Structure 1
Amino acid sequence: MWPAAILLALAAAAPASAAMVKDGSTCIVTPLSTTPAAVAARSIGAVAPTERDLDPADSPDGDSALWAAQDPRPLGRYPRAEPGSGRAAPVVARRVDDEDPVVAGPVPRQNRVDDTPQILSAFSQCGKNGVIILREGTYYIRQVMDTTSLSNVSIEIYGTLVWSADNLSYWRQKSFSVTYAGRQTAWRIGGRDIAMRGFGKAVFDGNGQAWIDLARGQGNLDGRPISLTVWQGTNVFIDGITWRMAQFWHTFIAHSQNVTMTNLDMNTFSTSGQSSVNTDGTNTWNSKDITISNWTVKCGDDCIAVKGNSSNVHISNVVCRESGAMTVGSVGSNSNQPDYVENVVFENITAIHSSNAAWIKTYPGRGYVRNITFRNIRFEDVNQPIYVTSCIYSYQNCDSSRLAITDVRWENITGTSRYNVAAGIHCSSAAPCDGFHFSGIDIKPKNGGTAKVLCSNIKNQASSGLTCTGPCPGSHPQQLSGNV
């Protein structure tokens, strides 16, 4: 690898007229929208429509089309479609650095820029024993990206990647399967010895409002893509990237080992009346030796979730807003295939206005959850801070589950609950929880009074360090709507 100073000099010297140049083992990519050739092509309408530009309004599922704004910088809000037109009406939107409003209207179909081909070319030519540099500027991503054969590569991203939202049917049909629960992803990255750095400059913009409005509160809309998936990766390092308005989950770690993700900023929320459910920060699955540190996440679902067959996971220094904070699960959803989760530490976590803080959710399945630590969890206005269930979502067959939950520690769990329940713990009577330990628990209802602790089927509960004030039925919900 070349020294960073030399690589930066090469990137600065790369000709702006070329979309991608290769110098030895280094590939330098420039946004097409900034090259003179692209500007000329757009001015004469020379870019022909392709399969990815099929109008979603013409598809059987009737997706509404959202058209990109003429100005590449983010607008204050997304345009809504005119009734019956399938196209968005021009809107007046204000950028933070503008004194006067900018009128944003539909971009003619033939003028759309697609930076995907030159990015994929860079990965193809420099993805082994090389360096890939995406210079500053805005890259428009209109196609799926599968970069899963990487080896000993450094990826440096200085620009903003914007995923298109006017071809939702394309994404739903072409995004790659990640196997888990039928989910899909827009970008898979995998291989060995991979470093992806954003230096605090890289931004991934998924145009998530379009997906939120399309889903209409449906949590798992078929084909709705995860933004970035680490897939069959070993020795992967990701650092310094900002996500804004992800399409679905921000990230996913699957079938991978020794993955470190640090200094990430994620923010996806709805500006319409629709819910931003299932915009998780990340989920791990069938992976081990995972380190997550120094994240800030605002999303409409789990902040960080450790799912089935994950082990040796360490999560620290994370701030979660409007989310599900730290959770193990869901696990055990497939009764024919056991799930195992072990050796997980969540520590130094802040949760603000979240559904839960430190919790475990399982289905009535098979397998085990063991050796889990929640340490130094601080929170404010959390619906139900500590929660354990053996029958998430259905709240049925709660006492028939054989999925054992053992050796779990809650240490220094402090803050305010939204209602008068600090903890709701229901373990299966067929496989009672064992080895639960609590210390430094200080949870107070935000409106005053004493918090209740509801517990059922915990072995040696009297010596666990937690005083239960009443039983917790299997039907006790994850989120409360008031005091109980």
Structure 2
Amino acid sequence: MTKNGSLCTVTPSGGSDDSPDIMAAFKQCGKNGQIEITEGDFTIAKVMDVLDLENCDISIMGKLTWNDDIQYWLRNSISVTYAQRSTAWRLGGTNFSIRGHGKALFFGNGQKWYDQNRNQGNQAGRPISLTLWRAKNVFIDGITWRQPQFWHTFVAYSENITMTNLDMNATSNSQWNTVNTDGTDTWNSKDIVIKNWVVTCGDDCISIKGNSSNVYVKNITCYESGAMCIGSLGNPAYTPDYVDNIWFEDITAIHSSNAAWIKTYPGTGHVRNVTFKNINFRDVNQPIYISPCIYSWSNCDGSRLQISDIKWENITGTSRYNVGAGIYCSRSAPCTGLKFSGIDIKPKDGGTAKFLCSNMNSDSGLGCTGTCPYGWKQQLTGNA
């Protein structure tokens, strides 16, 4: 690492751990400075935790490879509180940017994690690739991820965050699936813009978790994912979760589990004022879905987490089976203000899609064809 005035430049060491040099750059130029990580191959063998950035522009041109010392990461990855998750890299502060110029590549050696986890996704210590933590006024652009260890990104306790032109891909090359390699999850954060992403991840593409508000998502293409998701919320039940003012627009989902959906535990709080607009998909298991009892599919009517004022506009494509929508709302807190327009969902093998609805407002415009059974599963294995 070399420093010239307020500019710190980091070049690759040629195989040894480069994280100390990167951390030195953050320490010396992270306030009122610039950091340049040049082209070349960098090895990251230690956690990186930087929470005091201020008026800093970070430029990354190289490939950052996190090593595959699983035991080190399990012992040392940094807690991010939510659901006992942790991260390999945590960034926080005020007024900073990370620009990848379309050249930055973050390689997580994820295959080692996928094989080691054997289709289990929530191993304690398995690290999120990059976390924004108590960050304010941040711009991230032009970065590519391949084989992340866990979630690609996480935004927590942050505000005024813009993330554009990101390319994410978690694909397993073995018998074991990636499992829980979300594109991004937001939590306790507000005023977020997410635009122009391509994501292949095997789990939620964009996931809006508790106490998130004012999130705008546009022009996202998701492969093999859960696409646009509110949740999970409501766990633990005694801690209310609130989600307000979320907008998803111009979304494409290919061979995914769901397209535009909401999942909660039997909890408390609310989901309010969400729009899913111009969602186009191909071969999606169950495009529109609401569950108040995700994963256990029990105590569904015990949830008091109110879902209201949700719009689905121009939702078009092919479903894998004959269900276009499965909507079960809690009897303790029926859904209100659900509105549907421009819904055109056709089963890919022909026939007519079913729209199953329970405990929701009757003036939704969906044209429900039947009731949705209690405990309706997220993943279907055949026609209803």
User: Shorter-chain TM-score: which interval?
Assistant: over 0.9
Q: What is the CA-CA distance between 1:179 and the residue it aligns to?
A: 0.2
Amino acid at match of 1:124: K
Give the match for residue 11 of structure 2: 30
Q: What is the rounded CA distance, in whole Å, between the counterparts of 1:300 and 1:443 in structure 2?
A: 22
| SS of corresponding position for 2:304 | coil
Amino acid at match of 1:262: T
Q: Please say which structure displays the higher CA radius of gyration.
A: 1
| SS of corresponding position for 1:440 | strand
Give the match for residue 188 of structure 2: 286
2:269 matches 1:367 = yes
One of 25, 29, 37 as aligned partner of 1:134: 37
- Within 5 Å, which residues of 2 pair with 1:101-180? 113-165=16-68, 167-180=69-82
For each residue in 1:184-230, what CA deviation from the matched residue of structure 2 results, as whole angstroms up to 9, or x when unmatched?
00000010001000000000000000000111111201110000000
2:376 matches 1:473 = no
Give the match for residue 346 of structure 2: 444
Percent identity, aligned pairs only, is 64
| SS of corresponding position for 1:403 | strand
2:77 matches 1:182 = no
Q: What is the rounded CA distance, in whole Å, between the counterparts of 1:207 and 1:423 in structure 2?
A: 37
Q: What is the rounded CA distance, in whole Å, between the counterparts of 2:257 and 2:359 in structure 1?
A: 24
Q: What is the rounded CA distance, in whole Å, between the counterparts of 1:474 and 1:123 in structure 2?
A: 52
Q: What is the rounded CA distance, in whole Å, between the counterparts of 1:131 and 1:340 in structure 2?
A: 37
Give the match for residue 224 of structure 1: 126
For each residue in 1:392-437, what CA deviation from the matched residue of structure 2 results, as whole angstroms up to 9, or x when unmatched?
0000000111000000000000000000000000000110000000
Q: What is the CA-CA distance between 1:313 and the residue it aligns to?
A: 0.3
Amino acid at match of 1:296: V
Q: What is the rounded CA distance, in whole Å, between the counterparts of 1:211 and 1:148 in structure 2?
A: 27
Matched length: 384
Q: What is the rounded CA distance, in whole Å, between the counterparts of 2:11 and 2:295 in structure 1?
A: 47
Amino acid at match of 2:223: R
Q: 1:133·1:157 contact (CA, 8 Å) conserved in 2?
A: yes
- Within 5 Å, which residues of 2 pair with 1:180-219? 180-219=82-121
Give the match for residue 201 of structure 2: 299
Gaps of 5+ in 1: 1-19, 34-111
For each residue in 1:21-42, what CA deviation from the matched residue of structure 2 results, as whole angstroms up to 9, or x when unmatched?
1000000011001xxxxxxxxx
Output the TM-score relative to the length of structure 2: 0.99
Q: What is the rounded CA distance, in whole Å, between the counterparts of 1:174 and 1:185 in structure 2?
A: 9
Q: What is the rounded CA distance, in whole Å, between the counterparts of 2:331 and 2:56 in structure 1?
A: 51
Q: What is the rounded CA distance, in whole Å, between the counterparts of 2:44 and 2:291 in structure 1?
A: 41
Q: 1:389·1:474 contact (CA, 8 Å) conserved in 2?
A: no
Q: What is the CA-CA distance between 1:121 and the residue it aligns to?
A: 0.3
One of 432, 443, 464 as aligned partner of 2:364: 464
Q: What is the CA-CA distance between 1:474 and the residue it aligns to?
A: 2.2
Give the match for residue 61 of structure 1: none
For each residue in 1:345-382, what CA deviation from the matched residue of structure 2 results, as whole angstroms up to 9, or x when unmatched?
00000000000000000010000000000000000000
Q: What is the CA-CA distance between 1:148 and the residue it aligns to?
A: 1.0
One of 320, 341, 354 as aligned partner of 1:418: 320
Q: What is the rounded CA distance, in whole Å, between the counterparts of 1:409 and 1:475 in structure 2?
A: 23
CA RMSD of aligned residues (A): 0.6
For each residue in 1:108-145, what CA deviation from the matched residue of structure 2 results, as whole angstroms up to 9, or x when unmatched?
xxxx5110110000000000000000010000000000
| SS of corresponding position for 2:98 | strand
2:233 matches 1:331 = yes
Q: 1:351·1:379 contact (CA, 8 Å) conserved in 2?
A: yes
For each residue in 1:93-121, what CA deviation from the matched residue of structure 2 results, as whole angstroms up to 9, or x when unmatched?
xxxxxxxxxxxxxxxxxxx5110110000
| SS of corresponding position for 1:172 | helix
Amino acid at match of 2:35: I
Amino acid at match of 1:481: T
| SS of corresponding position for 2:217 | strand
Q: What is the rounded CA distance, in whole Å, between the counterparts of 2:278 and 2:34 in structure 1?
A: 39
Give the match for residue 159 of structure 2: 257
Q: What is the rounded CA distance, in whole Å, between the counterparts of 1:308 and 1:331 in structure 2?
A: 6
For each residue in 1:9-67, what CA deviation from the matched residue of structure 2 results, as whole angstroms up to 9, or x when unmatched?
xxxxxxxxxxx11000000011001xxxxxxxxxxxxxxxxxxxxxxxxxxxxxxxxxx
For each residue in 1:262-285, what CA deviation from the matched residue of structure 2 results, as whole angstroms up to 9, or x when unmatched?
000000111100011100000000
Output the TM-score relative to the length of structure 1: 0.79
Q: 1:425·1:454 contact (CA, 8 Å) conserved in 2?
A: yes
Gaps of 5+ in 2: none
For each residue in 1:452-474, what CA deviation from the matched residue of structure 2 results, as whole angstroms up to 9, or x when unmatched?
00000002x2x211111111122
Q: What is the rounded CA distance, in whole Å, between the counterparts of 1:177 and 1:193 in structure 2?
A: 23
| SS of corresponding position for 1:388 | strand
Q: What is the rounded CA distance, in whole Å, between the counterparts of 1:475 and 1:404 in structure 2?
A: 17
Give the match for residue 430 of structure 1: 332
| SS of corresponding position for 1:125 | helix
Amino acid at match of 1:410: W
| SS of corresponding position for 1:32 | coil
Q: 1:286·1:308 contact (CA, 8 Å) conserved in 2?
A: yes
Q: What is the rounded CA distance, in whole Å, between the counterparts of 1:354 and 1:279 in structure 2?
A: 14
| SS of corresponding position for 2:111 | helix
Q: 1:157·1:197 contact (CA, 8 Å) conserved in 2?
A: yes
2:212 matches 1:310 = yes
- Greater per-residue helix proportion: 1
Give the match for residue 347 of structure 1: 249
